[in-house]
Amino acid sequence: MTPKDPSDHPWSDLDRPPLNAAVLRRALVRPGSLWTSVEVVPETGSTNTDLAARAARGAAAAGTVLAAERQTAGRGRLERSWTAPARSGLFFSVLLTPDVPVRRWGWLPLLAGVAASAALTRTAGADTALKWPNDLLVRFGGQERKTGGILAERVAGPGGAASVVLGVGINVSLREDELPVPAAGSLALAGARTTDRDPLLRAVLRSLEEWYGLWCGAGGDPEASGLHRAYTVSCATLGRRVRALLPGDRELVGEAVAVDGEGRLVLAGAEGVQQPVEAGDVVHLRPAREESPGE
Per-residue pLDDT reduced to its tens digit, 7-34: 566 655 778 999 999 999 999 999 999 9
pLDDT digit string, tens, across residues 160-211: 899 999 999 999 999 999 998 888 999 999 999 999 999 999 999 999 999 9
Find all residues with CB under 8 Å of 6, minimum gap 6, and list them.
Answer: 12
Q: Are 16 and 173 in contact (CB under 8 A)?
A: yes
Q: How far apart are CA 127 and CA 109, in angstroms?
A: 20
Q: Are 227 and 214 in contact (CB under 8 A)?
A: yes
Spell 171-183 as b/e; 16+ CB within 10 A means b.
Answer: bbbbeeeebeeee
Q: How far apart are CA 288 and CA 293, in angstroms?
A: 12
Q: Classify domain 16-234 at the CATH superfamily level.
A: Bira Bifunctional Protein; Domain 2 (3.30.930.10)
Amino acid at 57: R
User: Higher confidence at residue 243 or residue 170?
Assistant: 170
Predicted confidence band at 290 (pLDDT cuts at 50, 70, 90)?
Answer: very low
pLDDT for residue 141:
85
User: Higher confidence at residue 228 or residue 84?
Assistant: 228
pLDDT for residue 288:
76
Please state which CATH class domain 241-287 belongs to.
mainly beta
Q: 188, exposed or middle or buried, with CB in 10 Å at 0-12, 13-18, 19+?
A: buried
pLDDT at residue 6 greater than cutoff 60: no
Side-chain-facing half-sphere of 131: CA atoms under 13 Å: 18
Q: Give me the phi and psi of 134, to 5 degrees please.
A: -145, 25
pLDDT for residue 48:
96
Residue 138 has a CB neighbour count (10 Å cut-off) of 29
pLDDT digit string, tens, across residues 65-120: 999 999 987 555 445 556 779 999 999 999 999 999 999 999 999 999 999 999 99
Longest dimension (CA), the chain: 66
Assess whether the region 16-234 and the region 241-287 belong to the same CATH fold.
Answer: no
Q: Give me the phi and psi of 137, to 5 degrees please.
A: -110, 150
State the DSSP H helix or E strand holding residue 228, giving kind and residue range, or none if neither.
helix 227-234
pLDDT digit string, tens, across residues 119-171: 999 999 999 999 999 899 999 888 999 999 999 999 999 988 999 999 999 99
Q: Where are the domains of the chain?
A: 16-234, 241-287
pLDDT at residue 285 greater than cutoff 90: no
Q: What is the mean pLDDT of residues 240-262?
A: 88
pLDDT at residue 271 greater than cutoff 80: no
Nearest CA to 198 out of 36, 30, 38, 51 is that of 38
Q: How far is CA 268 from CA 110, 252, 282, in A?
A: 21, 10, 16
Q: How far apart are CA 201 and CA 187, in angstroms?
A: 13
Pairing mode, strands 64-68 and 135-140: unpaired
User: Higher confidence at residue 254 or residue 290?
Assistant: 254
